[in-house]
Structure 1
Amino acid sequence: MRIKQAEFVTSAVKKHQYPELGLPEVAFVGRSNVGKSSIINAITNRRKLAKVSNTPGRTRLVNFFNINGGAMLVDLPGYGYAKISKTEQAAWGKIIEDYILQSPFLKRFVLLVDARHKPTADDVAMLDYFRYYQKDVLVVGTKLDKLKRNDIRKNEKIIRETLGLAPEEKVIFYSAMTRENLQQVIDTVFAGILPEDE
Structure 2
Amino acid sequence: MLEWITNTIQIWNYWGIALLMFLENLFPPIPSELIMPLAGFTASPYQPGGAKLNVFGVFFAGLLGSVVGALIWYYPGKFFSERRLKTLADKYGKWIAISSKDISKATRWFNSQGRKAVLIGRLVPGIRTVISVPAGISNMPLLPFIFYTTLGSAAWVGLLTYSGYVLGSQYELVDNYLAPVSKIVLGILVLAFVGWVLKRRRKRTRS
TM-score normalised over the length of structure 2 = 0.25
- Indicate the structure with greater strand content: 1
Bigger proportion of residues as helix: 2
* TM-score, structure 1 normalization: 0.25
